[in-house]
Amino acid sequence: MNTRSNHPLSRIEYQVMWNRLISVVEEQAQTLVRTAFGTATREAGDLSAGVYDTKGRMLAQAVTGTPGHVNSMAMSTGHVLDKVPITKMNEGDAFIVNDPWQGTGHLNDIVIVTPTFRRGKPVGLFACTLHVVDIGGRGIIGEAKQVYEEGIYLPITKIVDRGEMNEWLIDIIKANVREPIQVIGDIYSEIASNEVGGKRLVAMMDEFGLEHLDDLAKHILDHSREASLEAINRLPHGTYHNSMMVDGINGKPMELKAKLTIGPEGIDVDFAGSAGLVQLGINVPLCYTEAYTSFGVKCIVAPHVPNNAASLATIRVTAPEGCILNAKHPAPVAGRSIIGQMLPDVVFGCLQQAMPGGVPAEGTSCLWNVRLMGGMGRVDADPEMLKGATPYNVTGFHSGGTGARPKLDGLSATAFPSGVRNVPVEITETNAPVLVWSKEYRQDSGGAGEFRGGLGQVMEIETAEDMPFAISTSFDRVVYPPRGRAGGRNGTTGKVETRSGRTLPPKAQSTIPVGDRLIVSMPGGGGYGDPHKRPAKKVADDVARGLVSIEAAREYYGVAVDADGVLDEAETARLRTKAAAE
Amino acid sequence: MPPAISPDRVRHADQVRLAVDIGGTFTDVVLETPDARYSTKVLTTKAAPEDGVLDGMMRALKLGGIEPGQVGLIVHGTTLATNAIIERKGAKTALVTTKGFRDSIEMAQENRFEQYDIFIEKPEPLAPRTMRFTVPERIDAKGGVRLPLDEAAVEALAETLKAKGVEAIAIGFLHSYANPAHERRTAEILAAKLPGVRISISSEVCPEVREYERFSTTCANAYVQPLMARYLESLQSRARAAGFACPLLLMTSGGGLTTLETAVRFPIRLVESGPAGGVILSTWIADNMGIDRILSFDMGGTTAKICIIDDGKPMASRSFEVDRRYRFMKGSGLPVRIPVIEMVEIGAGGGSLAGVDPMKRITVGPESAGSDPGPACYRLGGTKPAVTDANVVLGRIDPDRFAGGSIKLDASLSRQALDTHVGTPLDLDTTLSAFGVSEVVEENMANAARVHAVERGAELEGRTLIAFGGGAPLHAARLAEKLGIADVLIPASAGVGSAVGFLRAPIAFEVVRSRFVRLSAFDPAAINTMFAEMAREATDVVKLGAGAAPIRISRSADMRYAGQGHEILVDLPDGPFTKDSVAELQKRFDAGYRALFNRVIPALDVEVVGWILKAEAPAPGRAAELPMAAAGESGAPAAVGTRTLFDPMLREFASVPVYARTALKPGQSMQGPAVIAEDETTTIITSGFTATLDPSGAIRLLARKAVLQEAAQ
């Protein structure tokens, strides 16, 4: 087998096998998407799947909607192998873990790791993870002050033993979650999807006559490392700093600070100097910090190199203990995504200095999920009044605008860095007694620039059954807007309010009384480049489309235009010349 | 307009029939008489496609010595609607929607279809924001009116639309699938004020929950409607003037035929009719030969399409995207919810370009050289290697006989392109570069088929691969090897397969309703009433084309566990529902769910989201049968020459016999490696296969292993 890698024909074969391995994890992930229950998994693609060699090195990962799992899941297989050496594993075993520090950052993510055997010998492992609808505890942004209050905590444990389901463990999980059928169903899906992966891997090894994956692993990892380093080494070596303010909690803003070093062996990102821990579940375990940081670096520097142990190893992430980006047990972490999703913007600010013109402006970045609740125990109202109210809890995944890109406008109402899809209004209204009266672009919210920031959106919501309802918010960019880049203006901050004029808090639960409406205005992305360089024709078009107001066109872009988008060229020339002179 | 078809005329449509398939480059015409089949290809005349159609039909008739008046039926499929969308050359279309929802069709799913590319652009909706208008009205999820329609606002809007010079209008209100009253009233008001402007309403075009998909489908329908109406009506009158007195039926993406009237109402249902024709042909051949598990494989110049067919039924769905702009990726096109034959399409065709990526991996497609400049060997200035170039180097394509010798290929240009773009960066010689390209494109197709099968809960092993389209017979044997498939069929006239398929299609119409029903609260009377109404609607359409022919009704439902995101399609029993039907529905759902996912979830309520009814009359005319010659011959035919071919299993060149397809006799068999040449394509028999000419005229490749097993039994 040793000669195999040198023969030219074998090089073609290795490549075919590499492609096959990627297809195998896609099949594994598809099995999960089709069978999962949690809304986050099936509607939004909040899952991941990957294959590992017996040393625990990830060889291929399916491309799914969640950067948060990028290398957190990659590491969890290593943790399993540390606890249970491969020699102690048996055919038909599977392991479960939701430890936020050994899994993917919060208890709702359950990881399953399954060894694959061929002719009685372990040849590799499959792992997958998904977000279950409930894990017990006090909610994503709840009252929890410690991880103990966030739900059931599963250290690395055997869930299937030689094909036998560990029914004792299943019973314990069932007894600790609010939606036992769905959660157990999800765990079964994960086990099945790893089995599908294992079966395909064995078939592939049969077809190509492989006794082990060692040579193929070497081929994949060597080429990925080379390609990653080649991309990194095209950038000027050096150390770049950036700092970004986020809203934080209780009126206390937080600074996120990064030092990014580009060197011959890869990129190092350190978050020393960032804010400390808080007593709310928005703290981030390091594995999750690594995930969003690597994603941010990768999508700028080497988007085409597939994720695996070698490509991910070229991006190293550190943060001092006790900082919000390296929260230790038992800090609460259930809502770690709110801060985690901000990290690509922090990284972009560093990379901008190394590759001017290659990085977008800041965007909304954290999801603006509209989580609505009704019924007893969920709404702050007289229990007598809530008699007969429909109990519900629905989440609509929604987004503000993304930052403008060099040479392209930002995307309006589009998730980034998260890859989730929204939930249609008609589905939300079918699942819960609410009426969405409006869901439209938010005029002037996109930061002005030669390339305009993506627009946020405004949603206006009312109860449909004469009962008060509640919203549980977990929003950022309400105080600190997404910043523009290269002379582009900032995007507009978001806000949560009622039609009657009450401003609601961005990270808490609030009740909306009967007769009033909830209005959620989502942020717009930052602009890129001097707004006066935006062709007047494009500004006029934005005005005709109602994306930019006549006033904003004049004030920020120096363009005089009427509501139909008809340009006053003389006036525009005058405005722009005047601005240039100033 | 008089009815397009008078029912009594269809009954006699069993003598001579014409099929016309307009593609991007060629218009294929097939003439079938009781005794023979003739086919011809003419260039598609883009400005006035009916010119090419008429020209092609007259040529085909001449080949058969037939007069227009003798033709009993014309069946037509076209990509015109698809092209109008791709080239954004449809009507000036306005969307009228519920106040507050002006941007639903642009926000789409609020996501990015490609996770790692921060420079993607999302598809531009067919109605830009300046052409989207809202009116106060609101219906809730149960169909209740929360805010009455503001008719005065609609009246006022009519003036605006007139001033804007709107040519087509799409009306899409929230929850109109549950209560279409506001949409209908709005259409009435606008129709009165804007005579001549075509109006599509979402509760008719696509009465299904999920506003983005429904509005997108309705806009697409409106967008192509004026153009398609003009074309179809002109074609009909031109055909009449030329002496054709017969009906004209249109092929739909769902694999059924429909009348011209219906096609003008729902032109969006005509997209993808060409590929559907190919699948219908595969299905029909399989039926005739008694094969029940098929993988249909169609490979052309730019893409390959793969479809799973079980027990005579191609996989069906109602989810399709037109104009996938980004590497044919899911989410990069415009969704349309129409009945379609489910196919996976990937950027792998003869023109797909090869290169090397930063990981030193050979890549193939989805970028394509198209036909201009085409592959390097075309001598039209292309310098990048395409799949066709690899096939020339490997001996799969004879450069002197390509397309019947009409295009002379230059093999040295193929070698040069492969050396420059693959061989040099990877330190491979020309042959291995070419082999690498062919392996990668075949692996890409195999992987797409595998992932598709997993998505649909199907197994590929043990299927018969039916290959058609110019590129498929070149790659079918190797693809089969990769998929563990031992049986490959290459039907006769594979090159005009779609048009032949049109002649085998039933007359069919499908209607759908979104109505959420939990099995625990199943009300048989209400569902029976709904289905009765749907049956009336569907049979009315089918009758127009089928006359007195018997019409079969089949019903199915989109079902899921309550709260789950994806539905599965479950066939429903015939006949009216009773209280006892719940158990049967549960049983069928469980069976379907288990087939897909290997398990069921106990104690969870099941709900029906969508109800589907299809009315179908058999293919018009005499039931066609596969002509079966007697398999009198055995042994090997005489080779007409030899060729140097690279065999993927042996991994070396061998001098192999070349057989002429036209000279083969049923029953004769050939051992791979060998080549069977014909004008339209070339069939490659790899060393793992033995080929036989089937009595139907198809070439059948059986894996050597399978042949030996059969002999042993």
In chain A, domain spans = 2-226, 360-534, 535-581
Residue of A nearest to B143 (CA): A430
Q: Which residue has the higher pLDDT, B274 or B599?
A: B274
Contact B111 A182 (CB under 8 A): no
Burial of A368 (0-12, 13-18, 19+ CB in 10 A): buried
Of B117, B211, B601, the CB nearest to A425: B211
User: For residue B3, what pLDDT is reported?
Assistant: 34
Highest mean pLDDT among A61-65, B6-10, B614-618: B614-618
Contact B112 A411 (CB under 8 A): yes
Contact A414 B436 (CB under 8 A): no
Nearest-Cα distance to chain B for A185, in Å, is: 7
Q: What are A394-403's pLDDT values in tens digits?
A: 888 999 999 9
Q: What is the identity of the amino acid at B258? A: T
> Cβ distance B297 to B476 under 8 Å?
yes
pLDDT bucket at B547, cuts 50 / 70 / 90? confident
User: For residue B155, what pLDDT is reported?
Assistant: 98
Cα separation, A456 vs A438, whole angstroms: 13
Contact A230 B212 (CB under 8 A): no
Of B359, B432, B563, the CB nearest to A223: B359
**Chain A residues touching B129 at Cβ < 8 A:** 545-547
Cα separation, A242 vs A274, whole angstroms: 11
Q: Which of B31-40, B471-480, B678-687 has the lowest mean pLDDT?
A: B31-40
Mutate which: B97, B102, B104, B107, vs A, most A CBs within 10 A: B107
Nearest-Cα distance to chain B for A542, in Å, is: 10
Q: Where would I find the beta strands (DSSP E) of A183-339?
A: 238-249, 252-263, 266-270, 315-318
Contact A42 B112 (CB under 8 A): no
3-state secondary structure of A264: coil
**Chain A residues touching B427 at Cβ < 8 A:** 8
Q: Which of A46-55, A569-578, B38-47, B441-450 has the lowest mean pLDDT?
A: B38-47
Q: What is the identity of the amino acid at A146? A: Q
Residue of A nearest to B100 (CA): A438
pLDDT bucket at B9, cuts 50 / 70 / 90? very low
Of B447, B454, B564, the CB nearest to A20: B447
Q: Could you check whether the bond before residue A330 is cis, i.e. omega within 30 degrees of 0? A: yes
Contact B138 A435 (CB under 8 A): yes
**Chain A residues touching B212 at Cβ < 8 A:** 424
Nearest Cα residue to A479 out of A495, A457, A498:
A495
Contact A545 B128 (CB under 8 A): yes
Q: Could you check whether the bond before residue B373 is cis, i.e. omega within 30 degrees of 0? A: yes
Q: Which of B308-312, B606-610, B617-621 has the lowest mean pLDDT?
A: B617-621
List beta partners, residue B518.
Answer: B607
Nearest Cα residue to B260 out of B221, B231, B218:
B231
> Cβ distance B680 to B699 under 8 Å?
no
The mean pLDDT of B177-206, rounded to a whole number, is 97
Kindly give, in sequence order, each residue whose CB lies less than 8 Å from that of residue B342, ignoring residues fewer than 6 positions away: B307, B308, B314, B315, B316, B317, B456
pLDDT at B2 over 80: no
The mean pLDDT of B168-179, rounded to a whole number, is 97
Contact A304 B129 (CB under 8 A): no
**Chain A residues touching B115 at Cβ < 8 A:** 63-65, 67, 299, 419
Instruction: Tell me the DSSP string of B532-560.
Output: HHHHHHHHHHHHHHHTTS--EEEEEEEEE
Nearest-Cα distance to chain A for B489, in Å, is: 23
Contact A544 B211 (CB under 8 A): no
- Is the ipTM value over 0.85, yes or no? yes
Q: Which of A66-70, A550-554, B130-134, B143-147 has the lowest mean pLDDT?
A: A66-70
pLDDT bucket at B12, cuts 50 / 70 / 90? very low
> Cβ distance A97 to A154 under 8 Å?
yes
Contact A196 B454 (CB under 8 A): yes
pLDDT at B553 over 60: yes
For residue A383, which phi and psi values (nearest 5 degrees)? -55, -35
User: For residue B623, what pLDDT is reported?
Assistant: 52
Of A16, A33, A544, the CB nearest to B130: A544
Contact A299 B174 (CB under 8 A): no
User: For residue B634, what pLDDT is reported?
Assistant: 75
**Chain A residues touching B598 at Cβ < 8 A:** 192
> Cβ distance B101 to A438 under 8 Å?
yes
Cα separation, A370 vs A379, whole angstroms: 15
Q: What are A111-140's pLDDT values in tens digits?
A: 999 999 999 999 999 999 998 988 999 877
Nearest-Cα distance to chain B for A134, in Å, is: 14
Of A27, A63, A429, the CB nearest to B454: A27
| Burial per residue of B298-330, b for 16 or more beta-carbon CB atoms within 10 angstroms, e otherwise | bbbbbbbbbbbbeeeebbbebebbbbbbbebbe
Contact A305 B651 (CB under 8 A): no
Contact B455 A34 (CB under 8 A): yes
Task: Please give the domain boundaries of chain B with CATH numbers for all domains.
Answer: 7-85+229-270 (3.30.420.40), 91-216 (3.40.1360), 273-348+445-502 (3.30.420.40), 352-440 (no CATH), 507-617 (3.30.1490)
pLDDT at A3 over 50: no
* Average pLDDT over chain B, rounded to an integer: 90
Contact B103 A438 (CB under 8 A): no
User: For residue B627, what pLDDT is reported?
Assistant: 65
Mutate which: A5, A14, A15, vs B, most B CBs within 10 A: A15
**Chain B residues touching A565 at Cβ < 8 A:** 130
**Chain B residues touching A200 at Cβ < 8 A:** 450
**Chain B residues touching A428 at Cβ < 8 A:** none
Nearest-Cα distance to chain B for A378, in Å, is: 20
Contact A425 B601 (CB under 8 A): no
**Chain A residues touching B122 at Cβ < 8 A:** 411, 414
> Cβ distance B709 to B692 under 8 Å?
no
Q: Which of A323-327, B517-521, B549-553, B634-638 has the lowest mean pLDDT?
A: B634-638
Contact B603 A181 (CB under 8 A): yes
Of B432, B455, B596, the CB nearest to A8: B432
Cα separation, A32 vs A26, whole angstroms: 10
User: For residue B706, what pLDDT is reported?
Assistant: 65
Cα separation, B394 vs A422, whole angstroms: 48
Mutate which: B113, B115, B608, vs A, most A CBs within 10 A: B115
Q: Which of A36-40, B385-389, B567-571, B653-657 has the lowest mean pLDDT?
A: A36-40
Mutate which: A17, A359, A409, A440, vs B, most B CBs within 10 A: A440
Q: What are B465-505's pLDDT values in tens digits?
A: 999 888 899 999 999 999 999 999 999 876 677 888 999 89
**Chain B residues touching A37 at Cβ < 8 A:** 561, 563-564
Nearest-Cα distance to chain B for A372, in Å, is: 16
Kindly give, in sequence order, each residue whose CB lies less than 8 Å from that of residue B81, ignoring residues fewer than 6 positions away: B224, B227, B228, B267, B268, B270, B271
pTM above 0.80, yes or no: yes
pLDDT bucket at B6, cuts 50 / 70 / 90? very low
